[in-house]
Amino acid sequence: MSRKVRLFGQVLLAALVVMSACQSETPTSEKTPQPFYAFDEPPVLEHFVEPAYPELARAGNLSGEVMVRVLVEVDGSVGAISVIKASDSVFEAAARAAAVQLIFRPAKYKGKSTRSWVAIPYHFSKCDSAP
């Protein structure tokens, strides 16, 4: 089996795992099928943005995690954003606000830029935030 086929298989498996996780965490009434975009080269995160620590979380001395799913557009910007999983809803808006600012080198399919879905984890910890 060629290296390219193995790599494509690994990327496809990762994409399916992310899609499966998205569907299993979404209530049945909110499930909508998401399009699948094939690619030879995965997208590369070029600019990461840390989320702001929410004031409500600071007041409650909360820590948590949010996993967002972002659609990387052909220009590397972020299109659609959905929350896959959140330990507390207080962190969701901050994760979305950070995710919309991410910049990627877009995925490629047959040499051309293409859209793709990526899962991004955000961790929120009181000790990491400024007072």
Residue 37: its pLDDT value, please?
83
Q: How far is CA 72 from CA 25, 29, 46, 100, 118, in A?
A: 21, 25, 12, 10, 7
Domains and CATH numbers, the chain: 3-128 (3.30.2420.10)
Please check whether residue 70 is in contact with residue 99, taking contact to mean a CB–CB distance below 8 angstroms: yes
Q: What is the mean pLDDT of each run of 10 residues along the chain (131 residues)?
A: 42 41 40 74 96 91 95 96 95 97 97 96 79 51
Residue corresponding to tokens 């600019």: 47
CA nearest neighbour of 41 among 103, 102, 110: 110
Residue 12: its pLDDT value, please?
40
Residue 128: its pLDDT value, please?
56
Is the pTM for the entire model greater than 0.75?
A: no
Residue 60: its pLDDT value, please?
87
